[in-house]
Amino acid sequence: MDAYVAIEGGHVIEARGRAPGTTNGELVFTTAYTGYEESLTDPSYEEQILTFAYPLIGNYGVREERFESDRVHPNAAVARELTDDVAEWLTEEGVPAVDQIDTRDLVTDVREDGAMACGIAVGDDVTPEDALAELEDCTAMSDHTDIGAQVSVDEVEVTEGDADGETVALIDCGAKQAIVDSLNERGATVHRMPYDTTPAEVEAVDPDVLFVSNGPGDPANFDAAVDVVDAFVGDVPVAGICLGQQIVARALGGTTEKMAFGHRGVNQPVQDVDSGKVVMTTQNHGYTVADAPEALEVSQINVNDGTPEGLDSDDLDVITRQYHPEANPGPNDSLSFFDDVLGMAEAKRTVLAD
C-alpha cells in the first residue's frame, strides 16, 4: 500500500502502508522499546499519532492480556518497521499504520519543533494531497474540549477488593487498567466513575479515597473533575496520576501548561526532593503543572527539566504523581505509591474512628 505522512509546515514523507485509512492528530513519540501493546491501548494517546523511536515494533507478538483498555487509542501508528502481527492487529482495529520511515529524523523534528499537527493517508490509491488534506483538518489538542467522553466509562463499574479494604472512587479520565489492578491487588474496592461525575454521585459511594486517573488532552477541559476534587479535598484523601495530578493542582489554585513535546517513555528520571533518591519512571503526558498551588509541596521533580513529578500535602491528605507508578510498560520502582495512597486512607479512617 502507498502511504504519506504530512507534518506541520507542509512537508510530506513517503512511507510504506501497513494498515489502511486516512486520519490526523498530534504527532508525538515514545522512547519505549518494549510495551507497544500497552502504549497503543493507553487512553492517554487519544487523538494523537504515535511514533515509536525504537526501530522494531512487534517482535514478541500481540497478546490481549497486556492491553490497557479495550481498543487502540492513537489515531495512527508510525514506526521504522512494524511486524505483520502488529500490522494485522491495527488493520483489524481500523487504525492506519505506516513504516519504512526514518523515525530518528521524525523524532528529532518533534524534539526541535515540539509536538505538531500531522495528517496520514494509507491505501492503494492515496496521494500526498490526501495526507495534506488531513493535516489541514487537524484539531489542536486544547480544542478537543470533550475528549474525556471518548475515553471514560459511560457508567460506574465496580471491581471488588477485600471486605475490609478501602473504597476508592476513581474518576476515569482515561484510566489505564493497570491502575485499577494495582488498587484491587491491595484489597481496595474500586468504583470506576465517568469523567463528568458530580460531587453528589461521588458522595453516594462514601469513598475512603478520591483518585483522579490519567487521561488525554488539556486538563483545562476537565472542569467536572476539578469540581469533584474541590468538593472533597481536605475531607477525603485525594490521589492522582498524570492528568490527575494536573487536575488536583488546578482544583487547589495551581496552573497548567502545554509542554513542547512532553514526556513519553519508560526511562524518565525522577528525583525525590527530600532524599535526593532518583527512580526511573514510565510517563505519557503533554501537559504539566506550571505553578503548583501553595497548599501542595513539590515533593519530586523531573531530573531532565525540573517539572513537578510529585505534589503532596500531609495536612490535606493529598498525594499525586505526574508519572505512572503502575508502569505497564516500564520499571516498577514506584509501585509503593499505591501502598502510600491506601495507607493514607487507612490512617484517616483510624483518626475518624478515634
Could you tell me if 61 and 209 lie in one domain? no
Say which CATH number the domain at 332 has.
Answer: 3.40.50.880
Percent of the chain with pLDDT over 90: 97
Could you tell me if 60 and 103 lie in one domain? yes
88 included as an active-site residue: no
Grid cell listed for 269: 528520571
**pLDDT tens digits, one per residue of 147-205:** 999 999 999 999 999 999 999 999 999 999 999 999 999 999 999 999 999 999 999 99
Q: In this structure, are residues 20 and 1 in contact, taking their beta carbons and an 8 Å threshold?
A: yes
**pLDDT tens digits, one per residue of 55-79:** 999 999 999 999 999 999 999 999 9
Backbone angles phi, psi at 97, to 5 degrees: -145, 145
pLDDT at 354 (0 to 100): 60
In angstroms, rounded to a whole number, what is the distance separating the alpha carbons of residues 50 and 78? 6
- b/e code 183-211 from CB counts within 10 Å (16+ = b): bbebebbbbbbbbbbeeeebeebebbbbb
**pLDDT tens digits, one per residue of 314-340:** 999 999 999 999 999 999 999 999 999
Residue list, annotated binding site: 44, 215, 217, 243, 246, 284, 286-287
Could you tell me if 94 and 175 lie in one domain? no
Our count of domains for the chain comes to: 2
Cis status, amide bond into 269, omega within 30 of 0:
no
Q: In this structure, are residues 35 and 329 in contact, taking their beta carbons and an 8 Å threshold?
A: yes
Q: Read off the amino acid at residue 92.
A: E
Residue 61's domain comprises: 2-139
pTM > 0.95: yes or no = yes
Q: Read off the amino acid at residue 81.
A: E
Spot the catalytic one: 118, 138, 173, 242.
Answer: 242
- Model confidence at 252, in pLDDT bands (50, 70, 90)? very high
Tell me 115's DSSP state. S
pLDDT over 80 (residue 145): yes
Domain end marker among 107, 139, 171: 139
pLDDT over 80 (residue 19): yes
Domain end marker among 87, 113, 139: 139
Percent of the chain with pLDDT over 70: 99
User: How deeply is 70 buried, as exposed, middle or buried, from its count of CB atoms within 10 A (0-12, 13-18, 19+)?
Assistant: exposed
Say which CATH number the domain at 122 has.
Answer: 3.50.30.20
326 included as an active-site residue: yes
Could you tell me if 224 and 247 lie in one domain? yes
pLDDT at 229 (0 to 100): 98
Taken in order 284, 286, 292, 293, the sign of the CA dihedral is negative
pLDDT at 352 (0 to 100): 64
pLDDT at 346 (0 to 100): 86
Could you tell me if 111 and 135 lie in one domain? yes
Give the residue, 349 or 22, on which the prediction is more confident.
22
173 included as an active-site residue: no
Residue list, annotated binding site for L-glutamine: 44, 215, 217, 243, 246, 284, 286-287
Domain end marker among 122, 139, 156: 139
Could you tell me if 43 and 99 lie in one domain? yes
**pLDDT tens digits, one per residue of 262-290:** 999 999 999 999 999 999 999 999 999 99
pLDDT at 348 (0 to 100): 75
In angstroms, rounded to a whole number, what is the distance separating the alpha carbons of residues 77 and 90? 8
Q: In this structure, are residues 294 and 253 in contact, taking their beta carbons and an 8 Å threshold?
A: yes
pLDDT over 90 (residue 261): yes
Could you tell me if 239 and 271 lie in one domain? yes
pLDDT over 70 (residue 350): no
- Model confidence at 92, in pLDDT bands (50, 70, 90)? very high
Grid cell listed for 322: 505526574
Backbone angles phi, psi at 102, to 5 degrees: -75, 90
pLDDT at 46 (0 to 100): 98
* SS3 state of residue 28: strand
pLDDT at 353 (0 to 100): 63
Place of cell 491505501: 123
In angstroms, rounded to a whole number, what is the distance separating the alpha carbons of residues 111 and 262? 9
Could you tell me if 70 and 181 lie in one domain? no
| Mean per-residue pLDDT of the chain | 96
pLDDT over 80 (residue 233): yes
pLDDT at 241 (0 to 100): 98
